[in-house]
A and B are shown apart, each in its own frame.
Chain A
Amino acid sequence: MADARQTALSEALSEPVWPASPPLFRIAGVALAVALLAYPLVFTGTFSHHLMIMIFLHAIMAQSWNVIAGMSGQISLGHSLFFGLGAYASAVLYVKLGVTPWVGLVAGMSISALVAAAIGIPTLRLRGHYFAIATLLIGISAQIIFQRWEWVGAASGIWMPIERNNPWLAFQFHGTKLPYYYLSLLFCTLSFAVVWFLQRTRLGMRLLAVRDEPEAAASLGIDVAWHKVVAFMISGAMMSAAGTFFAQYVLVIDPDRVFNLELSVLALLMVVLGGTGTLWGPALGAAILIPLSEFTRTWFGGTGGTVDLIIYGILILLICIYQPRGLLSLVTERLRRRVDTL
């Protein structure tokens, strides 16, 4: 009997730590990569590029929100704060000091991580909804502060001077959206990589433990509050990168656009729709919601903003009722069942 257990143990020990994904998945992954790389060469219209850039950008935002909510279980309602900080950090550095936005990108991410720590350390120790409320209020306050802050252009914001000679250094591309397309695809891939790696490291596994059952996590030596703070810092830095990209993409930023509460809500909606805590859910959410909002904006003109919010609301209600684990679970659950019956 003991022998049988020993054999079972050696067999289990010889398994790879992370089961390889099924061949079907790997083929689908390669196909997707090829399709995304080829897409802008096949569909050459400006709008078709713009649409995909917006999806990638929002997928980064969703992936950022996924790190704090999906991996550590804390609901942030003020994520636009980091988006705005990223946008303003690079824009201000570029306009006032002539610093390349690439440095601005890193500066914004660092500032955001520090701000996340400053917000997280006092609030993430508390139980319950304090964190959600605090982030909501801070997110709204940041918008008001930037609306009044003359040095950064107050309500009219910042216009980036056009620079045509050194597009890669200036992080501005005119006449074509191709570089923006591939850069946003790269950023988006990197945000995936963050979550993918996190799920396979000590830090990430501990975050999942904190999310699932904080008291049990503490009994395993995990400093629960500190882990939540670290997750918030990573999440804030990711959101900030999206903000810098956005600033360089539109080249005009103002508090109404980049500190908009709607961005915080959108980040949440994409993740909840796609599947919280999963690798692909956030991107799936972005791929559904962003075209929806872009098309309603073209169809309904200026009022599109309200129409897409109504549609979001209905979608979320349906998700809560019929598929609370998100749309991705429709696929994964079916697959698991098929594997189980094999």
Chain B
Amino acid sequence: MTELLKVVGLSKRFGGVKANEDISFDARKGEILGIIGPNGAGKSTLFDLLTGYQEPDSGTVVLNGHTITGMRPDRISRMGVGRTFQKLKPFPDLTLIENVMVGALARTSNIREARDQALEAIAFVDLLAKRHSFARELSTGQRKRLELARALATGPRLLLLDEVTGGVDQKTIPGLIDLVQALRGRGITILTIEHNMQVVMEVSDRILALQFGKRIAFGLPDAVRSDPHVVDAYLGSADAA
């Protein structure tokens, strides 16, 4: 069995809002799983449930055979799950190297080793030139790369990326796509939330589509693209937008 992540019947309400409702899916080792859905569909909430930032009302999350539902974020991280945040959370008063070092320190307590691993992760996201800048001095695109490098430095088996191409100028998007694909080359399984349809179709092995907190489609990119629910959801949101 090559399944790394198995999610069954995950639900979460915020007051009257059903942010996630009975969501089930799985992710295989080394897979890139794209997650799409209109604004407010519940994508980020799903990430919060998977990584312990929110506790699900019901449902289970199984990572590599271990149930991790309801565990604290730091424990889930130590089990090999890395993530970035849609609303970016760099450590503003630390330099880029120091930001990523904190990630690497999850794997080693040796400062020199952590520094070297951090530099490798920074080189991977092609941001070496900025290594001594404070995070608060970086642009949005650079901060997204920072978050990616920082999560990567923890040595995750599973990486959750929340809109790494969103809100970034068009020029940098191809670079970010290459990045995501290169990550797979390292054997990391990736869940990536994406608004840019072209990007998601290009990088994903399979796609999970959400709307109003519910799963509306799950499968190969071509099948999901032509799924009537998905077409509906996107036409609907295009009207609204």
Contact with A along B37-79 (1 / 0, CB 8 A): 0000000000000011100000000000000000011100110
Name A's B-contacting residues (CB within 8 A): 5, 8-9, 12-13, 17, 19, 200-202, 205-206, 208-209, 212-213, 215-224, 277
Which of A200, A212, A221 meets B91, CB within 8 Å? A212
Would A277 and B93 count as touching, CB distance under 8 A?
yes
| B88 nearest CB neighbor, chain A only | A216
Given contact pairs A209-B91, A213-B90, A8 touches B101 in the complex (Cβ within 8 A): no
Would A8 and B128 count as touching, CB distance under 8 A?
yes
Chain B residues positioned under 8 Å from A217 (CB to CB): 91, 102
For the complex of A and B, 7 pairs with smallest distance between CB atoms: A212-B91, A216-B89, A221-B106, A218-B73, A221-B77, A9-B123, A221-B78
Would A212 and B93 count as touching, CB distance under 8 A?
yes
A217 to B94, CA, bound (A): 13
Would B92 and A212 count as touching, CB distance under 8 A?
yes
Q: Does B115 contact A (CB under 8 A)?
A: yes
Which of B83, B94, B109, B128 meets A219, CB within 8 Å? B83
Tell me the smallest distance from the CB of A180 to a CB of chain B, in Å. 36
A213 to B90, CA, bound (A): 7
Chain A residues positioned under 8 Å from B116 (CB to CB): 13
Chain B residues positioned under 8 Å from A205 (CB to CB): 94, 98, 101-102, 105, 111
Given contact pairs A8-B128, A13-B116, A213 touches B106 in the complex (Cβ within 8 A): no
Which of A9, A13, A200, A218 meets B74, CB within 8 Å? A218
Chain A residues positioned under 8 Å from B51 (CB to CB): 219
Q: Does B227 contact A (CB under 8 A)?
A: no
Would B85 and A215 count as touching, CB distance under 8 A?
yes
Tell me the smallest distance from the CB of B158 to a CB of chain A, in Å. 12
| A212 nearest CB neighbor, chain B only | B91
Known: A5-B128, A208-B93, A219-B51. 5 other contacts (CB 8 A): A12-B131, A217-B102, A220-B154, A221-B77, A222-B106
Q: Does B120 contact A (CB under 8 A)?
A: yes
Chain B residues positioned under 8 Å from A12 (CB to CB): 119, 122-123, 128, 131
Total interface residues on B, CB under 8 Å, equals 42
A155 to B101, CA, bound (A): 51
| B87 nearest CB neighbor, chain A only | A215
Name B's A-contacting residues (CB within 8 A): 51-53, 72-74, 77-78, 82-83, 85, 89-94, 98, 101-103, 105-106, 109, 111-112, 114-116, 119-120, 122-123, 126, 128-129, 131-132, 147, 150-151, 154
A/B interface sample: 16 pairs, CB < 8 A: A5-B128, A8-B128, A9-B119, A9-B123, A9-B128, A200-B111, A205-B101, A215-B89, A216-B147, A217-B102, A218-B52, A220-B105, A221-B78, A221-B106, A222-B74, A222-B106
Which of B103, B131, B132 counts the most chain A CB atoms within 10 A? B103
Given contact pairs A9-B119, A202-B105, A216 touches B85 in the complex (Cβ within 8 A): yes
| A227 nearest CB neighbor, chain B only | B74
Which of B91, B112, B122 meets A216, CB within 8 Å? B91
| B52 nearest CB neighbor, chain A only | A218
A201 to B108, CA, bound (A): 11
The dominant DSSP class at the A interface is helix
Given contact pairs A202-B109, A205-B105, A215-B53, A224 touches B91 in the complex (Cβ within 8 A): no
Which of B93, B102, B128 counts the most chain A CB atoms within 10 A? B102
| A12 nearest CB neighbor, chain B only | B119
A219 to B77, CA, bound (A): 6
A138 to B116, CA, bound (A): 44
Chain A residues positioned under 8 Å from B105 (CB to CB): 202, 205-206, 220
A221 to B105, CA, bound (A): 9
Would B123 and A8 count as touching, CB distance under 8 A?
yes
Chain A residues positioned under 8 Å from B73 (CB to CB): 215, 218-219
A101 to B190, CA, bound (A): 59
Would B102 and A209 count as touching, CB distance under 8 A?
yes
| B80 nearest CB neighbor, chain A only | A221
| B113 nearest CB neighbor, chain A only | A17
Would A218 and B72 count as touching, CB distance under 8 A?
yes
Would B123 and A218 count as touching, CB distance under 8 A?
no
Would A17 and B115 count as touching, CB distance under 8 A?
yes
A216 to B94, CA, bound (A): 13
Chain A residues positioned under 8 Å from B111 (CB to CB): 17, 200-202, 205
Chain A residues positioned under 8 Å from B112 (CB to CB): 17
Tell me the smallest distance from the CB of B151 to a CB of chain A, in Å. 7
| B93 nearest CB neighbor, chain A only | A212
A217 to B78, CA, bound (A): 12
Chain B residues positioned under 8 Å from A216 (CB to CB): 85, 89-91, 147, 150
Tell me the smallest distance from the CB of A324 to a CB of chain B, in Å. 13
Tell me the smallest distance from the CB of A336 to a CB of chain B, in Å. 10
Would B91 and A213 count as touching, CB distance under 8 A?
yes
Tell me the smallest distance from the CB of B59 to a CB of chain A, in Å. 21
Given contact pairs A12-B123, A17-B111, A220 touches B77 in the complex (Cβ within 8 A): yes
